[in-house]
Chains A and B, each alone.
Chain A
Amino acid sequence: MRGLFWVAFFGFWLVAVFPAASSGKKELDPLLTKEDLNHWAYQPLMSYEPPTVEKGSLVRNEIDRFILAKLEPKGLQLQPSADRRILIRRLSFDLRGLPPTQEEVRSFLNDQSDRAYPDLIDRFLASSAYGERWGQHWLDVARFAESDGFEHDFTRKEAWRYRDWVIRSLNEDMPYDEFVRLQIAGDELYPGDKDKAIATGFLVAGPDMPDINLDEERAHTVLNEMTSTTGLVFMGLTLGCAQCHDHKTDPVSQADFYRLRAVFANMDFPKKNKQLSHTFVESDANAPVSHLMERGDFGRPGVEVSPAFVRVANPMGHEIVPAPADAITTGRRKALSIWLTDPEHPLTARVIVNRLWQHHFGRPIVGTPNDFGVLGDRPSHPELLDWLAMELMARDWSLKEMHRLMLQSATYRQISRSKGGSWDVAIGSDPENRFFSRMNRKRLEGEAIRDTMLAVGGRLNRKEGGPSVHPPLPPEVAVTLLKKQWEVSEDESDHYRRSIYLFSRRNLRFPLFDVFDRPDANASCGRRNVSTTAPQSLTLLNSEFSLQSARHLAGQILNTGTSDFNDWVNQCYERVFSRPPIHTERELGIAFLKEQAALLKSEDRDPSALATPLGLTMKKDVYVGSALTDYCLALFNLNEMIYLD
């Protein structure tokens, strides 16, 4: 109905804009209407000049102009910069997922040069920890796990290679367009280059049921999942909604979905009971005929469709041409990768700069990072979003350049808490901080919490890459698994690797990550939930891991040689919070240590049954030492530990 109406008015215009779409496919798709294309995200990227603002003195770079331009009319301004201790902590977690070392804090505080802050950013970006941190953000989006899911949840023995490829590519600052292209078509773009082919592990990273009865059902499910995920990850398009019928709100038809799916249709599927390969494999150039599947049902193939790109995001008019006679694959994915990374593509660059912004500022510009469609949130700063997208391309798609840009802005450096004056005005007029009138407080992920506890206790093993490791699970959890699903790594030092190297089992998330909202890897996750639950508190308070971490931190502090409680409290705050305690905190800490030691002594417990500090190089009073363990455990449970100012 709607289609017919618009055809009458805009038919001519549409034929001009989308000749391919309007020729002979009328029975398949409602034609795109002008109204459909009016949605902001389908509009071409616009080139905006950074606006002029009144308080030019606050501006550090162009980002601040866009932000101030929205704040000033509301009588708001940017908050002042946080001090250096807060900044280094913010940057360190942001870029590395680890706290700054005491040495790093000291040297940053002492660096009087104008370059101190940008140099710090550069140092952190150059650290391999950067790829390990941002790799996890990408793996969330890529719904990455290392097992099939379903009943048998078989291990995918080679899946870690994709994880390592992601980390390495980010560390090498691979241009984002290449990063995208390789994940779609590394094998087709660079035939014979095994490393590039590993990137296509992205496509096959979703759940799969190898023992499903019918081959057609398996292929249908996997291809639909792959197509939907490609839409969410690179374009913020909820294509999956068009599997069964035309998209209810966005101008994506069911035919659009199955035409895009046809790009992947030549995938080699293994026989029943065999796992998918860890890369996308096409062994010839003869793709099967593709169909629209009625109601998304694998048993009901409808009309034939040819591979093509989602029309609403294809104002460039890319087409997929049949493979040449001598081709070894269909070339369809290569064409897809080129279309996605065409600078004229309205979505790709916008989607990625929004993801970068989200992780730095604690809130994306478009609140629904996987959904730029009609039902998604509108951008709070559309001009800024476009400017960042253009800037990304102008900087040769360099993600590290974009990090620098964002992190050097005055907007990023703002304080996240204060009182009185302009702060109260900001809270009052921008209660949700939609306009970035201050810095958002961010909660650390379970992975960063674990890495931090290992790091401050001196236990973190920084070994990089390779097959994933299996630290011990609590016995109550381990018994729920099938045999051989979690064989604890033999080398104990592997138990203390960074969280991104822990084996990621689809049917069982690592308990500490699970309670802190790690996504389940069954669908692309653009933005983690941040829930607060009692099991989180029980985990940080009572788990063996917490206690061991506290004992190790206590051991590290005792090994500095001092027996002065004052020094201990100082050391604890410096290591865990990157700052000295204030007077009251110090007094509370000293009082706690004294009282707790007295309590432990009065309980007359067997010294061998106490939570004494570990890794000690000298003998210490067990009661006092255990009191210090308790103190360290308390600090791990503080909001300041898991919320970043």
Chain B
Amino acid sequence: MPQYPTDAEFGRPLPAGPNRRQFLGSVGGGIGAVALAKLLSEENLLSANSSVSSQADPLARIAPHFRPKVKRVIYLFMHGGPSHVDLFDPKPDLIKYAGKPLPDSFGSVMTRRKVAHNPLLPPVMPFQRRGQSGIPMSDFLPHMASVADELCVMRSCHGDSVNHPQSVYQMNTGSILMGRPSLGSWVSYGLGSENRDMPSFVVMPDPAGGLKGGPPAWGSGYLPASYQGTTMRPGVNPILNLKPSARVSGSQQKSTLSLIQKLNTAHLKNRDYDDSLAARVRSYELAYRMQSAAPDLVDISSESKATLSRYGIGEEPTDEFGTRCLLARRMIERGVRFVQLYSGGTLGWDAHKDVKENHTRYCAKTDKPVAGLIRDLKGRGLLDDTLVIWGGEFGRMPMSEQGTGRDHNPWGYSVIFAGGGVKGGMTYGETDAIGLRAETDPIHVHDLHATILHLLGLDHEKLTYFHNGREERLTDVAGKVVRGILS
């Protein structure tokens, strides 16, 4: 009985028919003989076009539950909590009652800091009606205002925690607790990948780091690691360990890789073409393709001057965020399913002290790139089947903090959608007279998630994963699709 690979395993012709596992009717496809034969030839192994698919591949493409409106998502996460009452949700009463304390009629309000009895702070920037649709936006966002007719401003969003990390988790995972799978992971799990050269869920954190709650915000929780967000950054080394050490040349690595694949393939043949071993052989193929695909992705030298300037690339203070927005477009063009960008390091949009100063800074960095992205997507016909999301983990309080700042407000705030399946140039829902709480047509975070999944063709009640005794969902036991915004 041979217990080690036998010499005959090397170079022996492969079975012509279906492989053993398929023949024996086992679940999981294994890799087909033809594909395996391709693997064996070095040319194909190292070619950029070889594609091997398998049911055992966790990222194989999966049909949605119903016809989707969009195929992919770009999520622009404004970390720290942008102020809805200074950007998208004008409140005349806030001007009227400026300087007065919160009227008793609003009842007690839970806040992060002790601001409940502070005087109300009027909007720190004037609002104008924008575009054909006339939706109001403040002067903080002149560029986004120029694409107002593409925007669906949901002004009645609300969540459950006044704290950053809990709210960052909730906006990403539906739960204020740590460790649940993120939206992007659920989407990867539900739909698989559209491409063979890149991960399906990519995250581009703010280079300043410091996201409150950290990488669990894009983790896969109890879903397999295949679905977690892969962190990418601009520059020569966009993915961790993407490139070999400077001590290893390209041709040197190629021959090492070729030896690996030869030995792994022999190992696999001698083990009933075990699915997981086959998947690992494939993972080296993908890794090799990523090594060239990822640098190609982040190489924006082929982009026109007009495109670069649309994103504010090459000028300050937009260069950094503009570059990441452009990379987001390049990613979805290459079949990345879900791209998430963060704006704002440790403090970000968290304007406790001075909203005007803080938001002037952050809007200057992001406004032009965001508008450029939407316009660029539209110009390329990509906006029709892409969903762009703009929003933070919460909004900000109508009361002042330290005179000119505002505290966190999860009880009512705005999130913006643009793209396929949603009406542009509209506002939906209302906060109360001063922007404290969502009042008309409130949208809980679960509802936002249900709607995002719906646009992707997924029923949030059917997208489940069994874990520790429960069929878990992104939306827990709640969530309603916000039908009023669907086109």
Q: Which residues of A contact B (CB under 8 A)?
A: 80, 82-83, 86, 149-151, 153, 207, 209, 211-213, 221, 232, 238, 240-241, 249-250, 368, 370-371, 373, 375-376, 415-419, 427-428, 431-432, 441, 443, 474, 476-477, 479-482, 506-508, 511, 514-517, 520-524, 526, 529-539, 541-544, 547, 579, 582-585, 588, 592, 595-596, 599-600, 603, 605, 609-611, 626, 630-631, 633-634, 637-640, 643, 645
Contact = CB atoms under 8 A, between A and B. Distances in A.
B207 to A, nearest CB: 8
Nearest to B277: A639
Contacts of A240: 468-469
A474 B239 CA distance: 11
Interface stretch (B282-290, B331-339, B373-381): B282-290
Contacts of B468: 232, 238, 240, 370-371, 523-524, 526
B335 to A, nearest CB: 14
B268 A599 contact: no
B209 A479 contact: yes
Contacts of A507: 213-216
Contacts of B4: 579, 582
A389 B399 CA distance: 62
A136 B487 CA distance: 52
Contacts of B246: 609
Given A250-B469, A371-B468, A507-B216, A638 B260 contact: yes
Question: Would you list the 3 A-B pairs with minimal beta carbon distance, nearest first?
Answer: A238-B469, A522-B179, A507-B214
Nearest to B198: A534
Given A238-B468, A479-B209, A507-B216, 10 more contacts: A213-B110, A371-B469, A529-B224, A533-B226, A541-B244, A543-B241, A584-B5, A634-B263, A640-B263, A640-B267
Given A213-B162, A517-B224, A523-B468, A542 B243 contact: yes
B226 A596 contact: no
Interface string B215-243: 11001011111100011010001011111
B470 interface: yes
Contacts of B211: 480
A417 B271 contact: yes
Interface in B70-111: 110
A515 B199 contact: no
Contact of B240 (A211, A428, A535, A643): A535
A221 B239 CA distance: 36
Contacts of B256: 541, 596, 630-631, 633-634
7 contacts: A480-B205, A482-B346, A526-B468, A537-B287, A541-B284, A611-B245, A633-B256
A480 B229 CA distance: 15
B124 to A, nearest CB: 26
A151 B7 contact: no
B409 to A, nearest CB: 14
Indicate the member of B2, B25, B230 with the most A CB atoms within 10 Å. B2
A583 B58 contact: no
Indicate the member of B225, B252, B260 with the most A CB atoms within 10 Å. B225
Indicate the member of A83, A507, A592, A633 with the most B CB atoms within 10 Å. A507
B114 to A, nearest CB: 11
A157 B442 CA distance: 44
A543 B470 CA distance: 38
Indicate the member of B162, B216, B243, B276 with the most A CB atoms within 10 Å. B216
Interface stretch (B163-171, B306-314, B433-441, B443-451): B163-171
B341 to A, nearest CB: 15
A238 B237 CA distance: 43
B182 to A, nearest CB: 12
A418 B5 CA distance: 10
A508 B272 CA distance: 37
A355 to B, nearest CB: 15
Nearest to A541: B287
A238 B24 CA distance: 36
A376 B3 contact: no
B1 A592 contact: no
Contact of A547 (B27, B199, B209, B248): B248
Contacts of A427: 20, 24, 272
A639 B278 CA distance: 10
B225 A517 contact: yes
A365 to B, nearest CB: 18
Given A150-B165, A480-B214, A633-B256, A534 B290 contact: yes
Nearest to B238: A476
Contacts of B259: 588, 592, 631, 634
B177 interface: yes
Interface residues of B, number: 94
B283 A643 contact: no
B214 A508 contact: yes
A180 B165 CA distance: 33
A38 to B, nearest CB: 18
Indicate the member of B178, B179, B272 with the most A CB atoms within 10 Å. B178
A600 B252 contact: yes
A584 B290 CA distance: 31
Interface in B134-179: 162-166, 177-179
A555 to B, nearest CB: 14
A603 to B, nearest CB: 6
A428 B24 contact: yes
A541 B277 contact: no
Contact of A585 (B233, B263, B270): B263
A531 B58 contact: yes
Nearest to B272: A427
Contact of B286 (A213, A481, A482, A534): A534
A418 B1 contact: yes
Nearest to B263: A638
B327 to A, nearest CB: 16
A582 B6 contact: yes
Contacts of B214: 153, 480, 507-508
A529 B267 CA distance: 23
A368 B266 CA distance: 33
Contacts of A150: 163, 165-166, 178, 213
B169 to A, nearest CB: 8
A592 B245 contact: no
Given A542-B244, A599-B255, A431 B25 contact: yes
Contact of B469 (A153, A207, A375, A506): A375
A532 B249 CA distance: 26
A482 B210 contact: yes
Contact of A476 (B233, B281, B282): B233
Contact of B245 (A523, A535, A547): A547
A280 B237 CA distance: 45
Nearest to A478: B209
B274 interface: yes
A546 to B, nearest CB: 9
Nearest to B267: A639
Contacts of A517: 224-225
A505 to B, nearest CB: 9
B130 interface: no
B354 to A, nearest CB: 22
Contacts of B249: 603, 605
B7 A415 contact: no
Contacts of A213: 110, 112, 162-163
Given A207-B177, A441-B271, A639 B280 contact: yes
Contact of B226 (A207, A514, A531, A605): A531
A238 to B, nearest CB: 3
Given A213-B112, A507-B215, A588-B259, A415 B1 contact: yes
Contact of A582 (B1, B5, B166, B279): B5
A547 B242 contact: no
B305 interface: no
B66 interface: no
A610 B247 contact: yes
A603 B164 CA distance: 53
Nearest to A374: B469
B468 to A, nearest CB: 5
